[in-house]
Amino acid sequence: MGSQAFRQGVETLLSSYRAIPADGTVRLAKKTSNLFRKRAKNPYPGLDVSGLDRVISVDPDARTADVAGMCTYEDLVDATLPYGLAPTVVPQLKTITLGGAVTGLGIESTSFRSGLPHEAVREIEILTGEGELITATPTGDNSDLYFGFPNSYGTLGYSVRLRIDLEPVKRFVELRHVRFTDIATLQTTMDTIVAEQSYDGERVDYLDGVAFTANEAYLTLGRQTDDPGPVSDYTGMGIFYRSIQHDSASTPKRDRLTIHDYLWRWDTDWFWCSRAFGAQNPRIRKFWPKKLLRSSFYWKLIGYDQRFDIGDRLNARKGLPPGERVVQDIEVPIERLTDFVEWFLRDIPIEPIWLCPLKLREPAQVGADAHRPWPLYPLEPQRTYVNVGFWSAVPVTPGDPGHANKLIERKVADLDGHKSLYSESFYAEDEFDELYGGEQLRLLKKRYDPNSRLLDLYAKAVKRQ
């Protein structure tokens, strides 16, 4: 992209900010989003971020990259892999932006050793609600904004530029799919792997899992290698999550991918959500254009469904009730994983579900509160959590909108967990305030958005304004 093009993008952004009336709400003018919650239409023009969608530079010696806030991870990975480098955490979908993953959180199979995307940020340039460009770092005058920005979802400003750490990667990833017939044993094994970063004498660089039922679940263990050899391809007729399954509880199933295909193994079928569009039916998949086997295209189909209620109309023709969308990622402490998964598989009719352990990086960033380093999503340092992802729908409960989602929120809170805010939420305001750093957010809003040009987090995440 280059620094000159980046600065032109910044000027375009600032011009669009100045075009918003002084009493108008400041929001992005993005045409696409990876959020699953609807929002009210903004009557004011939005911020033009069209010039902030590229990698500015890569420093292979320092193992860092300067990246514009709206750059997608697909473009970021394409820029770093030629140097044998990758972001420390690469979220699953190609169209997630770096800025979005930092302000809205992200996770992947390196999170058990590398934490979350925002922990790799060295400095971040933010456009505040007041129209100021502020550079925030772990130390210095704006360190409170640096630590408060993750999980703020645009309520404290928008990332313009981020300098992030990169890590060396090898050409291939060797996979072991380890089968479990009960969740408790999977939990114990996962906990041991997180602590030792190895399993059965082999190093583990990547770790996630899938539970198909309470009696059929898998951990997928990845190890980087440069050794040449055959690789699998799950960008065409092959379906990655189906490749995980096998019958042996004693012998892992082995597989091998290029590092590029490993990083994007979930994007081709949006985990398993492409089945809702018929894309996993071999007769349909055979004629499905390969370039459209990707999450960005499924997003367009979701948009049509939301606009025209296609799914509910089809259900009505079959005599079925409309669906309640249950599209969520939650985190619970690893010692409560079995409690949650067994409850979920029993009471919420959705399968499979994704399992991904995470732990904040050690040591905590200099300048952080040792007890709550990231106050708007206060995970405890030195504690292992497991992200559980589930993305489908269940029959609506008459007279109780969001019934299943409310049950999940209560269960997660009972287990000392948290829920990501990219989808629908139903919390009461006082509970939300306690869970998501309400007092700290108010202090930050007072300093960086004193005229409330940006929305409040509860308004965005729950009221869907």
What does the domain layout of the chain look like in residue ranges?
3-169+453-461
- The DSSP string of 9-50 is HHHHHHHHHHTS-TTSPP-B--S--S--S--PPPSS--B--T
Q: At what angle do helices 337-347 and 403-414 cross, to 10 degrees?
A: 160
pLDDT, tens digit (0-9, with 9 covering 90-100), for 159-178: 999 999 999 999 999 999 99
- Whether residue 355 contacts residue 187, with contact meaning beta carbons closer than 8 Å, is answered with no
Q: Cβ of 336: how many Cβ atoms within 10 Å?
A: 18
| Res 299: pLDDT | 82
Q: What does the block give as tokens for 118?
A: 């925002």
CATH class of 3-169+453-461: alpha beta
Helix (H, G, I), strand (E, B) or coil at 173: strand
pLDDT at 295 over 60: yes
pLDDT, tens digit (0-9, with 9 covering 90-100), for 10-43: 999 999 999 999 888 888 876 665 555 565 666 6
Q: Which of 226, 120, 106 is nearest to 167 (CA)?
A: 120
Percent of the chain with pLDDT over 70: 91
Alpha-carbon gap, residue 149 to 99, rounded angstroms: 10
* Full-model pTM: 0.94
pLDDT, tens digit (0-9, with 9 covering 90-100), for 424-437: 999 999 999 999 99
CA angle, 126 then 362 then 196, to 5°: 135
Alpha-carbon gap, residue 383 to 109, rounded angstroms: 17
Write b or e for each residue in 112-131: b if 16 or more Cβ atoms lie within 10 A of its Cβ, otherwise e: bbbbbbbbbbebbbbbbbbe
pLDDT, tens digit (0-9, with 9 covering 90-100), for 67-118: 999 999 999 999 999 999 999 999 999 999 999 999 999 999 999 999 999 9
Contacts of 329 (CB under 8 A, 6+ apart): 107, 387, 388, 389, 419, 420, 422, 423
- Reported in sequence order, the residue ranges of 81-201 that DSSP labels E, i.e. its strands, are 85-87, 121-127, 133-136, 158-168, 172-180, 198-199
The C-alpha R_g of the chain, in whole angstroms, comes to 22
Between strands 64-68 and 85-87, the pairing is unpaired
**HSE (CB half, 13 Å, CA atoms) of 189?**
22
**346-375 average pLDDT score:** 83
CA angle, 11 then 15 then 20, to 5°: 150
Alpha-carbon gap, residue 9 to 3, rounded angstroms: 10
| Res 37: pLDDT | 52
